[in-house]
Structure 1
Amino acid sequence: MTEVIDKAFAAALYADGDEGLDTGASLLAAAPEADAELWRRGEELVRRAWERGWQPADVIRMVGRAQDDIAHGTDRAHQTQLAAELITTETRRYGDTLPPRWQAQLAELIPQSTPRTDRFSQATTTLALYRLLLRLPAIEPVGPAPGTPLHAPPPPGHEEPRILTRIRALLAKAEATGFPEEAEALTAKAQELMARHTIDEALLASRTHAKDTPGACRIGVDAPYETAKAILLDAVATANRCRAVWNEAYGFSTVVGFEPDLEVVELLHTSLLVQGTAAMTKAEAGQRAGGRKRTKTFRQAFLLAYANRLGARLAAAAEDVTVESPDAGELLPVLAARDVAVTSHTERMFPETSTTRVRGATDHEGWTHGTAAANKAHITPAQRHLP
């Protein structure tokens, strides 16, 4: 049993090229008695991914991005489901000791039954997934690996602050409504609550002398137009006193900041991206109605302009909220100290980073419509016009 798996792995996982997948799959297809050990090996590979800094959402994202194995005939949907099942069963061994972000990611993994295929196809998909897991490199960890004792484990029944639940509900309504005025009002209220939440948490940590330190999270930046989406995320992160480092090869940005600010960045970025995509689709429909056929350059320019303009608006809004706070005298040095802590933590995590030159937008109509959409995205409680 073990010998069969070792031979299959040697052919499919450790050899170059795709030819070994057929050899390994043939060996496994003829040995149903090896299925239990094969599954155990898969859980071990998942565990090694955790030790190298990966998290459940990261692994699922990498499976979805894999292109080479699709050409060999493996089923991406089946491979994703297999990964979800492995992750779900492997993480059960940690009980309730997983950090909240892990619990949230696992809650989104809902393994579903996939149509049964012949043993050869099943083995091919399994080996392709195992090969991907085996070859995942070490990346910057954004939290402890499963099984590591937590310094401050969440109490039983721990839930997110009620204010974040309200913010989620407001943004969800803003994204769903078909009335721009209503969306603006809902987003404005959500932004007001976000700013209040961030300031309250910073002052509380300072007044109680809490030993609060920056953390990090990863946010997926999916194709197409990932450059513009990464720029938007960077703008949202910077406005909320976080730092974002984009990893283009793996399709995610690592955002560094204090936990309340990270939560705000995730919520606001997701909502603004949804709003921007909806506005882009509407503007594009108008262009097509006017006889325009090319849309790729329009979309690229639209999203770049949208991210660029929102960056300016978010920065101005963040400054206004801070200056107008009744505790501004106490707040400013507190925020300055937190900025220094975030910058230092980012530099420790990423001692070597590079600056990427963004390809300029070449579509005037796309840039104009994107800027207009950013101006309409209501992100501050007080309506202000930037010159």
Structure 2
Amino acid sequence: MSTVEKALAAALYAEGDEALDTGASLLAADPSADDELRLRGEQLVRRAWERGWQPADVLRLVRRDLDETHERLAAGLIAAETKRYGARLAPRFQAQLADLGDPQPPRSDRFSQATALLELYRLLARLPAIEPVGPVPGETLASVPASPHEPRMLGRIRALLAKAEATGYPEEAEALTAKAQELMARHSVDEALLAARTHSPDVPSACRIGVDAPYETAKAVLLDAVAGANRCRAVWNGSFAFSTVVGFESDLESVELLHTSLLVQGATALAKAESAQREGGRRRTKTFRQSFWTAYASRLGEHLAAVADDVVTADLLPVLASRDVAVTAHADRMFPETTTTRVRGATDLDGWYDGRAAADRAQRPPSGSTGVARRPGRGDRG
């Protein structure tokens, strides 16, 4: 049995620091084992892809459950493992790799390095199978023709949302964000009409979007509202800090852009609201922030669909209905069992009113859902 096999046998599936120390001591004393240890890490990364995970999912979980050292080690393993595939990677997978940059390994003594690697390998080895949202690296990619109008339209939407995030004037942010949602809705309608006229083989797909603590339940509701406004469905997995959004590709892009922007706008508005609380002699509290995010998500859930509905006329309903049916069917196949989680009631009235006011300033968005579809799993709470 090699040094790496002994170390992994001691530490990978055992609990506690003693097993880790034993494995790390074996590895630290044998520099000749380094190459095999790295290859074992790449094998674990490959198994993660085969179980439905993608780079952003893995790094998000490492960041949540371990620390920056482990995140840098994971990024290095991911970069090394995916070099072999060349261009045989889906666009979303490639984009996530581009976000890695040039990961540099942390500097530390051999024992500390081995301990960190074993902790990371333990997490990777325990990743369960999840619903795939794209092909496994190296698989043949389906060829889907891109809309010639998409890059320009998405560029305009990005520019509007960037201005909304940067402005210090609430009314301007409201107008810019509402205009962005209007463009998204028009773009979705145009894509649906084009697909119907050309009998396009385009079918729904899916992507995952991180939903990070704190106040993740309210943030999941916000994402659900954004998804619904853009003819998509979102299913939250609280155990692994992400939602899976199902829809047509152009609509998924819109959901990602708008959700990210609304989180930024919400965080900015929360900071201002807390500042006003301090000036009024009131203490910032977790209850205030929870109530703020709950109200912000709920209020946006009342607004977003109104903007989308404004661009839909009666003659468009049959075309859009067929796409809605396709999205629902795809989501039901991916998630045959979901539960509905209700947001914990807001108990701080100041936070509630400030959150609603911030949502009113952010935009005119879907009819209000206060629940979010969720895949059952460990850590569920109803």
Please give the TM-score of this superposition, normalised by the length of structure 1.
0.90
1:149 aligns with 2:140: yes
What is the match of residue 7 of structure 1?
6
- Partner amino acid for 1:60? L
1:366 matched residue in structure 2: 351
Instruction: Give the AA of the match of 2:290.
Output: Q
> What is the rounded CA distance, in whole Å, between the counterparts of 1:136 and 1:197 in structure 2?
37
Take 1:79 and 1:379, find their aligned partners in 2: how far apart are those partners? 41
* Counterpart selection for 1:217 from 189, 204, 207: 207
Write the distance in 2 (CA, Å) between the matches of 1:154 and 1:198: 16
| Secondary structure of the structure 1 residue equivalent to 2:199 | coil
How far apart, CA to CA, are the structure 2 residues paired with 1:277 and 1:148? 40
Q: CA deviation at 1:160?
A: 6.1
* Cα drift, residue 159 of structure 1: 11
Which residues in structure 2 correspond to 1:123-162 (within 5 Å)?
123-152=114-143, 161-162=151-152
Output the amino acid matched with 1:87: I
Which digits, 9 at most, give the CA deviation of each residue in 1:275-302, with x for residues without a partner?
1111111011101111111421111111
Residues 354-380 of structure 1: per-residue CA shift (max 9 Å, x gap)? 122321111111111111111111347
Consecutive unaligned residues in structure 2, runs of 5 or more: 366-382
SS in 1 for 2:19: helix
What letter is aligned with 1:332? L
Letter in 1 for 2:94: Q
Whether contact under 8 Å (2:59, 2:71) holds in the other structure is yes
Contact persistence 1:301–1:361 (CA under 8 A): yes
d(CA) in 1 for partners of 2:185, 2:338: 30
> In structure 1, what residue type is equivalent to 2:78?
I
Distance in structure 1 (CA, Å) of the matches to 2:239 and 2:124: 16
How many residues are treated as equivalent by the alignment?
Answer: 364
Task: Give the equivalent residue in structure 1 for 2:38.
Answer: 39
Q: For residues 71-90 of structure 1, what are the structure 2 equivalents within 5 Å?
A: 76-90=67-81
Q: Secondary structure at the match of 1:216?
A: strand
The 2-side partners of 1:161 and 1:59 are apart by 28
Q: State whether residues 247 and 327 of structure 2, in contact with CA within 8 Å, keep that contact through their aligned partners in structure 1.
A: yes
Pairs within 5 Å for 1:305-344:
305-323=295-313, 328-329=314-315, 331-344=316-329
1:203 is aligned to 193
Cα pair 1:99 1:153 within 8 Å, conserved: no
For residue 119 of structure 2, what is the amino acid of its counterpart? Answer: A
The aligned residue for residue 274 of structure 1 is 264
- For 1:102, the equivalent position in structure 2 comes to 93
**2:61 is the alignment partner of 1:62:** yes
Cα offset, 1:234, TM superposition = 0.4
Q: Which amino acid is the alignment partner of residue 10 of structure 2? A: A
Letter in 1 for 2:250: P
Letter in 2 for 1:116: R
For 1:23, the equivalent position in structure 2 comes to: 22
Q: 1:370-385 counterparts in 2 under 5 A?
A: 370-379=355-364
Q: How far apart are 1:16 and its partner, in Å?
A: 3.2
Separation in structure 1 between the aligned mates of residue 216 and residue 209 of structure 2, nearest angstrom: 12
Q: Secondary structure at the match of 1:355?
A: strand
Native 8 Å contact 1:256 1:346 kept in 2: yes
Equivalent of 1:93, from 84, 88, 96? 84
The yes-or-no answer on 1:293 pairing with 2:274 is: no
1: distance between equivalents of 2:150 and 2:96? 15
Mapped to 2, the partners of 1:154 and 1:38 lie a distance apart of 42
| CA deviation string 1:15-45 (max 9, x = no partner) | 2333210000000001101111111111110
Deviations 1:48-88 (A, max 9, x none): 00000000000000101115xxxxxxxx2111011001111
Instruction: Tell me the residue number matched to 1:70.
Output: none
Q: Which moved more, 1:110-119 or 1:213-222?
A: 110-119
Match of 1:72 in 2: none
Question: Conserved in 2, the CA contact under 8 Å of 1:216 and 1:254?
Answer: yes
Between 119-128 and 107-116, report the one with greater CA deviation: 107-116
Per-residue Cα deviation, 1:155-201 (whole angstroms, up to 9, x for no partner): 9xx99622112211221122122233433343233223212211111
Query: Which of 196, 203, 219 is equivalent to 1:229?
Result: 219
CA distance in 2, matches of 1:305, 1:119: 50
1:81·1:111 contact (CA, 8 Å) conserved in 2?
no
CA apart distance, 1:337: 0.7
- Aligned counterparts of 1:160 and 1:99: Cα–Cα separation in 2: 18
d(CA) in 2 for partners of 1:162, 1:294: 42
Q: How far apart, in 2, do the equivalents of 1:185 and 1:340 lie?
A: 32
- Residue 118 (structure 1) aligns with: 109
**Secondary structure of 2:5's aligned partner:** helix
| Equivalence for 1:385 | none
User: 2 CA distance for matches of 1:295 and 1:134?
Assistant: 38
SS at match of 2:239: coil
Check whether the contact 1:13–1:131 (CA below 8 A) recurs between aligned residues.
yes
Deviations 1:135-167 (A, max 9, x none): 000001111111110121779xx9962211221
Contact 1:242 1:342 in 2 (8 A): yes
